[in-house]
Chain A
Amino acid sequence: MSEALTIDRRVRRLPPGRVAIIAGAAIMAIVAAAAILAPLVAPHDPYAQSMLARFRPMSAEYWLGTDQFGRDTFSRILYGLQITLWTAFASTALAMLCGTSIGILSGYYGGRVDRWLSAANDLLMSFPQMVAGIIIVALLGPGITNLIIAIAITAFPAFYRMARSAALALRERDYIDACRVLGYSDMRIISRHLLPETLDDIIIVATLWLATAVRTESSLAFIGLGAPPPAATLGGLVREGFDNLLDYPGLAIWPSLAILVVMIGLNLMGDGLRDANDPRASA
């Protein structure tokens, strides 16, 4: 019957956000490939200085020109992507692991510890995240590991809060009670029921926080608190370019565009995932 056919078609229609997810994933796949394969793809050694090749314009040899030490901008951007993506990924993963597990335990068991933890969390959340990042990195000292820890601390509250509220909501469900009655251990209830149910939300938050982590990392690098030199970082490249902005604007523009591409890719994915998961968006 024609009616049945049309209903079928409605269900099979592209879910909202599918296009955005695919576009974002494609961008990120290319960027990630370029970053991982940087040692193979980069036409030059990103650290090789050459006083003879300072401030070269764009050419077949130096695709995006060179900086004040004669280093190839394109190669430095590729290596910068590596650091940026690794830092963002590692810090988000760290925040996700700690935030989600502490959040779930806190919400699942409740009580005084939960109240104190969530109060402290709200506090951390309300303090300007960028300022917190700057201070933490400065106090911990330079280095990629410290950078990852600092960014993870600023991202922790978002995961904690989401996981805690999910655990709170689930704790009230009947089937969790049923599991308890059946004598399942708390660990089993959490890992078999709570975690799978919150996984979608965790992934969405993680994607969006990846973008924030990239933003934080590149901002810190711009301020001079990123991976220590001579490592090439995208934010650091923008900073170096900024110092020569009047004469060689390209040095600031190219790494800026690289950051933008990464941000747009991640935001597209996060946006799409959120839309696809929002029942209201399809109405």
Chain B
Amino acid sequence: MSVLSVDNLRTSLVIGGVEYHALREISLSVAEGETLAVVGESGCGKSMLAMSVMGLLPSVAAITMGHVTLDAVQIEAASESVMEHIRGAKIGMVFQEPMTALNPVLTVGEQIAEPLRDHLGLSKREARKAAVALMEKVRIPAAATRYNSYPHEFSGGMRQRVVIALAIACRPRLLIADEPTTALDVTVQRQILDLLDMLRTEGKMGMLLITHNLGTVAGHADRVAVMYGGDLVESATVKELFRSPAHPYSRALLASLPRVDRDLSELASIPGRVPALINMPEGCRFIDRCPHAMERCHTMPPSVAVGESQAHSVRCWLHVQGGEDAAEG
């Protein structure tokens, strides 16, 4: 059963009275114990997707179509007070920037204990004990004495462990990790990703791993969703995507990758960049950079299944019958 399923989700921004679609018709799911990686250049809508699921969209943005289902419960229209009981309890979230993600004037212990008291109703004492246990679990040395430390006394990697501890404190069903290692040293990145893997397996959590690093995808994800300009252009198992990418954008991504641990930000083989939201083309949003652009690309391409398994789908006219044969292109 899937922990999270997103069906046909559309998130819109209203700027100056005009509605723009920041996410268009996104569908994906995350199963128990599985890691779904969401990849794409910055500005592709990865974080917008995470915030839509969390119900933490900025005031100018809103979900205008589709459903977000968490553990068989629809939450896209849930009230703020309902979401307060879901966030931190059923969904945990780890952020990109550990240096600023923790409140500088509260002790780390206090910050980890807070969701335990809120969601699990633990007493102050129980919460403290549980928080120390969590700190040990995420391998913070001398957890009991560091309970009373403040964030500035921790290194970046240690702070990220604290953020992870408070994200998994209430044993959530889903863990959203938004570029959890981007801001960290390379040596620490591995440790944090391995820690997340371990916690996911142990807690049977589903994980939505947002990243722009294909090396991370290859090493730590089961399936991948490739996003471009607010569209989910391709989703497949990691193996299948790396073996036979179907969308021109995915192909370009992989082609630009001499080594698997290279960041997408260094991408050179696709000229141009993701267009700004207010200048998005009507149809396929990749049209300006696509080597195969055709007349029909001016209308939104449908999602089609490719390859032998139903799990591999791509949103591209090339794979619709009557189009150019893409597999050889």
Contact = CB atoms under 8 A, between A and B. Distances in A.
Direct contact of A and B (CB under 8 A): yes
Q: Which of A2, A3, A6, A7 has the most CB of B within 10 A?
A: A3
B1 interface: no
B276 to A, nearest CB: 10
Contacts of B15: 6, 10
B169 to A, nearest CB: 33
A6 B16 CA distance: 6
A9 interface: yes
Interface in B272-311: 278-279
B17 interface: yes
Give the bracket for the number of chain B residues in contact with chain A: under 10
B18 interface: yes
Nearest to A6: B16
Interface string A2-15: 11001101100000
Interface in A8-52: 9-10
A223 to B, nearest CB: 43
Tell which of B15, B16, B17, B18 has the most Cβ of chain A within 10 Å: B16
Interface string B1-30: 000000000000001111000000000000
A9 B17 CA distance: 10
A2 B16 contact: no
Taking chain A's interface residues, is the majority helix, strand, or loop, or is none over half, making it mixed? helix
Contacts of A2: 18
B18 A10 contact: no
Dominant SS among interface residues on chain B: mixed
**Which range holds the interface residue count of chain A?**
under 10
Nearest to B16: A6
Contacts of B278: 3, 7
B240 to A, nearest CB: 38
Contacts of B18: 2-3, 6
B18 to A, nearest CB: 5
B108 to A, nearest CB: 30
Contacts, number: 14
B13 to A, nearest CB: 12
Nearest to B278: A3
Contacts of A10: 15-16
Nearest to B280: A3
Contacts of A3: 18, 278-279
Nearest to B279: A3
Nearest to A2: B18
A3 B276 CA distance: 12
A3 B21 CA distance: 13
A3 B20 CA distance: 10
A131 B117 CA distance: 53
Contacts of A9: 16-17
A200 B18 CA distance: 34
Nearest to B18: A6
Contacts of B17: 6, 9
Contacts of B279: 3
Nearest to A9: B16
A3 B279 CA distance: 8
Nearest to A4: B278
A13 to B, nearest CB: 9
A2 B279 CA distance: 11
A10 B279 CA distance: 16
Nearest to B20: A3
A10 B15 CA distance: 9
Interface in B311-327: none
A2 B17 CA distance: 11
Interface string B195-210: 0000000000000000
B40 to A, nearest CB: 23
Interface string A119-130: 000000000000
Contacts of A7: 16, 278
Nearest to B277: A3
B132 to A, nearest CB: 41
A162 to B, nearest CB: 30
A14 to B, nearest CB: 14
A7 B15 CA distance: 9
B294 to A, nearest CB: 23
A10 B17 CA distance: 10
A2 B18 CA distance: 8
A4 to B, nearest CB: 9
B48 to A, nearest CB: 19
A9 B16 CA distance: 8
A42 to B, nearest CB: 52
B20 to A, nearest CB: 9
A55 to B, nearest CB: 59
Contacts of A6: 15-18
Interface in B16-58: 16-18
A9 B18 CA distance: 11
Given A2-B18, A10-B15, 6 more contacts: A3-B278, A3-B279, A6-B15, A7-B16, A7-B278, A10-B16
14 contacts: A2-B18, A3-B18, A3-B278, A3-B279, A6-B15, A6-B16, A6-B17, A6-B18, A7-B16, A7-B278, A9-B16, A9-B17, A10-B15, A10-B16
Closest 8 CB pairs of A and B: A6-B16, A10-B16, A6-B18, A3-B278, A9-B16, A6-B17, A2-B18, A3-B18
Interface of B: 15-18, 278-279
Interface of A: 2-3, 6-7, 9-10
